[in-house]
Amino acid sequence: MNRRNALRKTALLAGSAVAAPSLFSLLQSCKKQSRLEWTPVFLSEDQARFVSAFVDTLLPRTDTPGALDVKTDIFLDLVFAKTYDAKAQENVVNEIKKFNEECKQRHGKVFADLNMEDRKAVFKSKEAESPKFNPKVWGTAVGEQKPVGFYRSLKSMALWGYFSSEEIGMKHLNYDPVPGEYRGCVPLSEIGNTWSL
Say if residues 57 and 31 touch (Cβ distance below 8 Å): no
Least distance from other proteins to the Cβ atom of residue 53, Å:
13
Question: Is position 78 an interface residue for other proteins (rule: CB under 8 A)?
Answer: yes
Q: Which residues within the stretch 32-51 sit at the binding site for other proteins (CB under 8 A)? A: none
Listed in sequence order, the residues at least 6 apart from 115 whose beta carbon sits closer than 8 Å to its beta carbon are none
Q: Which residues within the stretch 165-184 sit at the binding site for other proteins (CB under 8 A)? A: 165-166, 169-170, 172-173, 176-184
Least distance from other proteins to the Cβ atom of residue 93, Å:
16
Reported as half-sphere exposure (CB side, CA atoms, 13 A), residue 76 has a value of 30
Among 38, 42, 123, 150, binds other proteins (CB under 8 A): 123
Helix pair angle (86-107, 149-163), 10° resolution: 110
Least distance from other proteins to the Cβ atom of residue 113, Å:
19
Among 44, 46, 156, 171, binds other proteins (CB under 8 A): 156
How many other CB atoms are found less than 10 A from the CB of residue 191? 12
